[in-house]
Structure 1
Amino acid sequence: MFIRNIKAAPAIYVIKQNYTSANVVNWFDITIYYFNKFYYLLLYLLFLLTFFAIKVKYALYYKVIVE
């Protein structure tokens, strides 16, 4: 098992001995590409969630202050 491209995605792979190096690199790049998309999608959803939570919080706060 080893880790490649930690900054992009925390992906761990098990590589069997009978794979050729070309297959290994190909599956690496494909899997990291899709995992990156999924990873950034999760970060984006988390950002939206926190943004709307803060927005609702301030909306309730200002509603209490004004009324």
Structure 2
Amino acid sequence: MFFFFFFFFFCSLPTRNEAFWKELDHVKGLWKNKKDLHVEQVGIATLFGLECFAWFCAGEIVGRGFTFTGYYV
């Protein structure tokens, strides 16, 4: 089972790499033509960024043992 996980993971790396660069090129194109962006697109991108930040904060809180002040040492 352990072998299969790594085999399938390494087999999917080329397609993931290709998809990443396609997405990055798309974002660069949007940034170049930022005057053509619609409010809806900007709103969706903003909400996505806020969601990523919220998940980061939740992960930090879980990593600290569900405390807001710091780690228990």
TM-score by length of 1: 0.42
* Greater strand share, structure number: 1
* Greater helix share, structure number: 2
Q: Which one has the largest radius of gyration?
A: 1
